[in-house]
Amino acid sequence: MTSELRRPSWKSYLELCKPKVVALIVFTAIAGMLLAVPGLPPVDLFVYSSIGIALAAASAAAINHFIDREADAQMERNKNRPLPKGELSANNVLMFALLLAAISMVLLFTLVNALTAILTFLSGLGYAIIYTVYLKRMTPQNIVIAGAFGATPPLLGWCAMTGEVHPYSLLLFLIIFVWTPPHFWPLSIAKRKEFAKVGIPMLPVTHGVEFTRLQILLYSFLLLIVTLLPYLTGMSGLIYLAAVVPLGFGFIYFAILMMCRKDDKTAMRTFFYSLFYLTIVFVALLVDHYIKFTL
C-alpha cells in the first residue's frame, strides 16, 4: 500500500474505537444519567461519567479489533479495518486499548463512584473477552448472551448519578437486551456468507435464514411488551407510550416484511430501522421525563 493511500494514524486509531457504536452507547448512558435525577445532573459528574464510559467502550471496541484481526481480513465488510490493512501493528492496538481502559477506570473510580467503575469494567471485559474470544464462536446464541454486556450503558449512567442499581435502570437494561437479537440478526442474515466463511456460528449460518426470520418476528413481539414496562410501572407516562407503541408495531411490520420478501435488502432495512427505533425510544423516555418534571 502506498503512502498516498494510507490514512493518517489518528484516523486509524479513531476507527479502532468504532465511533458510531460508541456514540449510541454514550447516548443511552447519558439517557440513563438524565432519567436518574428529577432535573439536570451535576455538570462535573455528568462529564466525567460520560467520558469514562465512552473510553471504556472505545477500549472494548479496540480489543475487539485486535482479537478479530484475522477473521476481519477475510470478511468483505471488515477487510478495510486498520489491522487487516496493515495501518497499525497488533501490539500498538493492544497498548492503545489498555491505555483507554486504564484512563477510564481511574476516571470512574476517582471522580464518579466505585460501583460504576466496577460495573463498567465487567461490561467491557464481558464484551471484549467473554463474547469476542469465546461466545462468538461457541454458540449461535452468541448475540443473545452478548446483549447482556451491550445493554449496560443506561444502567451505568444511572449508577453514575446515584451510586446504586435502581429497578428502573434494570428496565432500561432489559429494553436493550431484548432489542439486541432482532437488531443484529437481520445484519447476520445479509452477511451470513461472510460469517460462515470465517467459522462464526451466527444463527442464520447454523439454523438457516427462515428460522432466524421467525426468531426476529418473535423477538419483535417480545420487545413491544418489554417497552411497555416503563409505562406500566409508572416510570414514564402517556408521551412515552404514544411513541413506543407505533415504534413497536413498526418493528413487527419490518419483521413480517422480512418473512414475506426474503431478500437481503429488506434485512438491511430492518437493521437500520432497529437503530432508529432504539434512538427514538430513548428520546421518548427523556421527553416524557422532563415534561413530567417541568409541569
Output the pLDDT for position 266: 96
- In whole angstroms, give the CA distance from residue 66 to residue 17: 11
Q: Please, what is the end-to-end C-alpha distance for the chain in angstroms?
A: 61
Q: Do residue 159 and residue 145 come from a single domain? A: yes
pTM, 2 dp:
0.92
Q: Do residue 9 and residue 153 come from a single domain? A: yes
Q: Do residue 124 and residue 206 come from a single domain? A: no
Q: Do residue 146 and residue 171 come from a single domain? A: no
Single residue among 145, 165, 185 that ends a domain in this structure: 165
CATH number of the structural domain spanning residue 88: 1.10.357.140
Q: Do residue 170 and residue 154 come from a single domain? A: no
Residues 6+ apart with CB under 8 A from 263: none
Output the pLDDT for position 4: 45
- In whole angstroms, give the CA distance from residue 163 to residue 114: 8
Closest of 157, 273, 149, 155 to residue 216, by C-alpha: 273
Q: Do residue 13 and residue 146 come from a single domain? A: yes
Report the 10 Å Cβ neighbour count for 30: 22
Q: How many domains does the chain have?
A: 2
Reported as a single tens digit per residue, the pLDDT across 53-84 is 999 999 999 999 998 888 888 888 788 888 88
Q: Average model confidence (pLDDT) for the chain? A: 92
Percent of the chain topping pLDDT 90: 71
Reported as a single tens digit per residue, the pLDDT across 231-272 is 999 999 999 999 999 999 999 999 999 999 989 999 999 999
Single residue among 165, 197, 218 that ends a domain in this structure: 165
Domain that holds residue 266: 166-295
Q: Do residue 184 and residue 161 come from a single domain? A: no
Output the pLDDT for position 146: 82
Closest of 119, 104, 118, 96 to residue 170, by C-alpha: 119
Reported as a single tens digit per residue, the pLDDT across 129-161 is 888 878 888 888 888 888 888 899 999 999 999
Q: Please, what's the b/e burial string for 90-125 (b: 16 or more CB within 10 A of its CB; e: otherwise)?
A: eebbeebbeebbeebbebbbebbbebbbebbbebbb
- Grid cell at residue 49: 461519567
* pLDDT > 50? residue 1: no
Single residue among 125, 147, 165 that ends a domain in this structure: 165
Q: Do residue 130 and residue 256 come from a single domain? A: no
Q: Do residue 84 and residue 170 come from a single domain? A: no
Q: Do residue 158 and residue 43 come from a single domain? A: yes
Q: Do residue 294 and residue 216 come from a single domain? A: yes
Q: Do residue 223 and residue 290 come from a single domain? A: yes
